[in-house]
Chains A and B, each alone.
Chain A
């Protein structure tokens, strides 16, 4: 009875605290500028199935792609077992779903198989990060917290999955001894390999191991659930939503700025722009998170720092400071701080800092807009679009473009080409042009 009460209280606390944190992240994302992304739902759901659920872009790097599918699919399937854990925990029963008879041990054996896949995946991932030191996990932005965060997640998953094997193995031994409430429900395939390790222990110790692993598993999952909002691991929830809101236009299209269209039209026609009383004063580009769109902000929370973008970025490959992953991490860190400031002070509080305190002009100007990063991102984050918003601010609000770019702006304005050639010379290429007569 007391166990059930403790369980229910923990369950309520875990869900409440998680919801509270999710609400905060959702509030932070909504700090962004509003944009309307509702078109073409059918195509969007198609992308969710293909890119998010079936992870089509993960396979671009086959080893980590397949191992990630192990961990992803394994973790989801193993957590079906949580259903039974919930029932047992609340009702104080033991293996409540064993009434399924012969199907029960088959199901549990299958879950054990998936748990093994998760363990294999996580161990290889740990090795890649810490022993093999795969390049993309050792970039400058991957120090301290990002590195620790990744390792904590992987270790936790290994512990959670391993506990299942010890729990099941102890359970089977106790069943065979007919001990207490451990009724015969059948034996489970993979955990049976753990039986020799435990078989000489007294029943009381086995009960202790079984119970400890049960609580470790469930409390571990409660803790893990509540760790996720503080971690890059939040992608397990957001990637599905983020993929739904993917950019559907050709990758090469850059988002229009309607506020500028109005100004340019009035400049070209000489007419006053139509007065729009509802129109807010909008900045040209973004210097801080509130001037980005909510989609940019969602992108930043969805990023799980895998570094596939940085791995293919031509600027990064050739040793420049720009790392598209760092840009996303910086945006998220800035947004987190902005959210904390709102909680501590009020919605309009300003700490006199901006995204430019996180992302330098040197990084922003190194981008070739080649879209290798957006192409590589398994969850359809649009790094280029965020970089462009910051460039727009530097150019149009701060008038601080690099000198060479100011020169081409002047040339385009004055003579219609980035070079200083007269527009009247645009046909010189066609002079003295001959074709062989056939």
Chain B
């Protein structure tokens, strides 16, 4: 164990339940959060924040399975509903009431689509949760880490247009001392990163350009040196875009949770 560091044992729902404990929140990791090397860092950053603030939460661990978002949007309704009903059965067996997730796709599916199969939860995106903690004064940032940085925020479609959440991420960013710039296409007019609706997992159709390059150009145009996202797909796409433009050294791509983690020096 490293000096001055404390190991985090991530609480798992089944273990807590066996002990007769019931956490306040279920933290939904999502497939990308569990398996994508880049997004695992975001999961870890957010878990550190939860631990730091003593939030009562647990994960499903190996009982978690794909939310079905991508299956549904790729047209496989059968598979989506199988996933939905299986997940709901597990979550209801743990009497889950509130779900936090870093994935806007899972957020959207749980919030808007699971109620059709008796999965009724209060669903919170991690940017909304962070905003709430900031408003309540539980997170205070006095770090100068990003003071000289220019930050631009890319709206994930499934948080923004799909659910009208444009403010929470921006308010979290406002709490981090730094300069903020908007891309020319932002909020409800934001351009998709190109990964939704199953695109993440397939070659793009023939065209003159990849969508993620078009969006990366929007971000580069702002002169920002940090591109912030709040979605695992957007993260992959913007990272690829920066690599394509050979900008990955000068310009960094972070999730909002990572900025908070770094600001709080967790």
Contact = CB atoms under 8 A, between A and B. Distances in A.
B34 A429 contact: yes
Contact of B76 (A395, A419, A424): A395
Contacts of B72: 254
Contacts of B200: 418
A321 B205 contact: yes
B10 A427 contact: yes
Nearest to A391: B75
A432 B31 CA distance: 19
Contact of B158 (A252, A396, A413, A419): A252
Contact of A416 (B1, B7, B64, B195): B64
Nearest to A395: B75
Interface stretch (A148-156, A185-193, A401-409): A401-409
Contact of A388 (B1, B75, B195, B203): B75
Contacts of B248: none
Contact of B205 (A268, A366, A417, A424): A366
Interface string B79-92: 10111011001000
Given A250-B162, A369-B73, A396-B78, A418 B66 contact: yes
19 contacts: A264-B81, A268-B82, A315-B205, A318-B210, A368-B195, A368-B197, A370-B161, A372-B191, A388-B73, A391-B74, A417-B65, A423-B62, A426-B35, A429-B35, A430-B44, A434-B8, A435-B48, A436-B5, A436-B265
Given A268-B82, A433-B47, A418 B70 contact: yes
Determine which residue in A253, A370, A394, A418 has the highest number of CB atoms from chain B within 10 A of its CB, and name it.
Answer: A370
A434 B74 contact: no
B12 A437 contact: no
B214 interface: yes
A361 to B, nearest CB: 9
B221 to A, nearest CB: 15
B202 A404 contact: yes
A268 B82 CA distance: 8
B4 A408 contact: no
Contact of B82 (A264, A321, A372): A264
Interface string A285-323: 100000000000000000000000000101101111110
A392 B75 contact: yes
B86 A268 contact: yes
Interface string A235-263: 00000000000000111111011001101
Given A252-B158, A254-B73, A318-B211, A365 B5 contact: no
B43 interface: yes
A409 B164 contact: no
A408 B69 CA distance: 12
Interface string A370-399: 111001000000000000100111111000
Give the top 7 A-B pairs by smallest Cβ distance, nearest first.
Answer: A252-B162, A416-B65, A391-B75, A319-B208, A370-B192, A369-B197, A319-B207
A38 interface: no
B62 A427 contact: yes
Contact of A314 (B75, B194, B206): B194
A318 B158 CA distance: 21
Interface stretch (B109-117, B128-136, B172-180, B250-258): B109-117
B35 A421 contact: yes
Interface string A348-369: 0000000000000011011111
Contacts of A433: 7-8, 10, 44, 47-48
A249 B33 CA distance: 27
A314 B211 contact: yes
A436 B199 contact: no
B4 A436 contact: yes
Interface string A315-345: 1011111100000000000000000000000
Contacts of A363: 205
Contact of A250 (B7, B74, B111): B111
Interface in B174-222: 188-189, 191-192, 194-211, 213-215
A252 B163 contact: yes
A428 interface: yes
A282 to B, nearest CB: 12
Nearest to B72: A254
A402 B116 contact: no
B202 A426 contact: no
B161 A315 contact: no
A260 B85 CA distance: 12
A312 B75 contact: no
